[in-house]
């Protein structure tokens, strides 16, 4: 059933909140009257982010320097931050490369930060979320996935694995915390203009570039405002553009759906979404074949 998760005067804790989508989310949450904490590794970047938010909104967010791969550091930061009402597990890294060429260290890096790091943050925050003073007010745990967490893409074998993992985590955890009035959200952005995407573009395999362009491109603050709307609505899955909505319907699987309208659309459009997916796959594999022919020819 539909639920409303208030943001105003509540504690929103955002990991990866010093840059890109996380920083845009922090701005948005502050502008909606939330008390915001941001966690990341680099203190100078956190201070920079804190300054930009103070300049824009005249409010100070709390900053916590910790690497999500270090559980004790995360636990200390969460204890210092105090009970959390809305947890946004946003941190993430992506190094696109064909699996065969990718070093095991880079594969481990993405799994450690994107998946294991998310477990650390949730594990550290969950006890105080369950014992929050006003349990009648629903709480939220929102995990930053990606369209690459809905469909595997050339060059993203480890990245997609880390994001698909969040899906299993969210579906299982939702069953474990529903009785504590805590709602899970999975956020599925397409390519989003952030410093990390800029870096990624320099090293992304050509085929990855070609295929991901099918998902669209958004600005960080567009992603931030739709993300916050989805969290407030307690949506289990938060897609963004038309491709994202089609992907969400095509990959609805056995995930929770609190909106009757969306549930109806998932049922009514299931076969169309599968047809569009099959067409997307047909054109993708055709491009891959063409690319190899060109490469051989070159």
Ligand X SMILES: NC(=O)C1=CN([C@@H]2O[C@H](COP(=O)(O)OP(=O)(O)OC[C@H]3O[C@@H](n4cnc5c(N)ncnc54)[C@H](OP(=O)(O)O)[C@@H]3O)[C@@H](O)[C@H]2O)C=CC1
The residues annotated with a catalytic role in the active site are: 145, 159, 163
- As given in the structure block, the two tokens for residue 191 are 């390519």
Q: Does 210 bind ligand VSD (CB under 6 A)?
A: no
Pick between residue 195 and residue 253 the one whose CB is nearest to ligand X: 195
> With CB cut-offs between 5 and 8 Å by kind, which of ligand X, ligand VSD, none does residue 250 bind?
ligand VSD
Cβ at position 269, least distance to ligand X in Å: 23
Closest CA to 18 of 36, 35, 38: 38
Q: Does 93 bind ligand X (CB under 6 A)?
A: yes
Q: Does 190 bind ligand VSD (CB under 6 A)?
A: yes
Pick between residue 160 and residue 181 the one whose CB is nearest to ligand X: 160
Q: Binding mask 27-46 vs ligand X (x if CB under 6 A, - otherwise)?
A: -------------xxx--x-
Q: Are 19 and 45 in contact (CB under 8 A)?
A: yes
Q: Does 67 bind ligand X (CB under 6 A)?
A: yes
Q: Are strands 237-238 and 217-219 parallel, antiparallel or unpaired?
A: unpaired
Give the end-to-end CA distance of the chain in Å, rounded to a whole number.
57
Q: Does 230 bind ligand X (CB under 6 A)?
A: no
- As given in the structure block, the two tokens for residue 193 are 């203009």
Strand, helix or coil at 152?
A: coil
Pick between residue 144 and residue 250 the one whose CB is nearest to ligand X: 144
> With CB cut-offs between 5 and 8 Å by kind, which of ligand VSD, ligand X, none does residue 113 bind?
ligand X
* Sheet with 62-65, side-by-side order of all strands: 62-65, 35-40, 11-15, 86-89, 139-144, 182-187, 237-238
DSSP assignment of 204-228, as one string? --HHHHHHHGGG-EEEHHHHHHHHH
Residues that bind ligand VSD (CB under 6 A): 94, 146-148, 151, 153, 190-191, 197, 200, 212, 214-215, 243, 246-247, 250, 273, 276-277, 280
């Amino acid at each position: 059933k539909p639920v409303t998760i208030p943001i105003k005067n509540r504690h929103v804790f955002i990991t990866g909140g010093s840059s890109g989508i996380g920083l845009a989310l922090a701005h948005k949450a502050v502008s909606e009257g939330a008390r915001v904490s941001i966690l990341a590794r680099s203190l100078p970047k956190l201070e920079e982010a804190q300054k930009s938010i103070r300049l824009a909104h005249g409010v100070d967010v709390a900053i916590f320097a910790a690497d999500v791969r270090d559980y004790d550091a995360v636990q200390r930061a969460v204890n210092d931050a105090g009970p959390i009402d809305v947890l946004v597990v946003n941190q993430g890294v992506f190094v696109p490369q064909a699996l065969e060429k990718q070093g095991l260290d880079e594969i481990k890096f993405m799994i450690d930060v994107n998946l294991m790091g998310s477990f650390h943050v949730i594990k550290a925050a969950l006890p105080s979320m369950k014992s929050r003073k006003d349990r009648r007010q629903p709480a939220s745990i929102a995990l930053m996935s990606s369209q690459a967490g809905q469909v595997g893409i050339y060059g993203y074998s480890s990245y997609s694995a880390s994001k698909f993992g969040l899906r299993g985590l969210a579906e299982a955890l939702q069953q474990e915390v529903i009785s504590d009035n805590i709602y899970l959200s999975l956020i599925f952005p397409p390519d989003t203009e952030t410093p990390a995407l800029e870096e990624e573009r320099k090293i992304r395999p050509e085929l990855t570039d070609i295929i991901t362009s099918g998902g669209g491109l958004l600005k960080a603050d567009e992603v931030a405002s739709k993300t916050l709307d989805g969290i407030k609505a307690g949506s289990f899955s938060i897609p963004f553009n038309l491709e994202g909505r089609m992907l969400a319907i095509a990959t609805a699987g056995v995930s929770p759906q609190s909106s009757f309208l969306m549930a109806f659309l998932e049922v009514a459009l299931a076969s169309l979404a599968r047809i569009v997916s099959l067409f997307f796959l047909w054109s993708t594999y055709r491009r891959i074949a063409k690319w190899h022919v060109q490469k051989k020819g070159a």
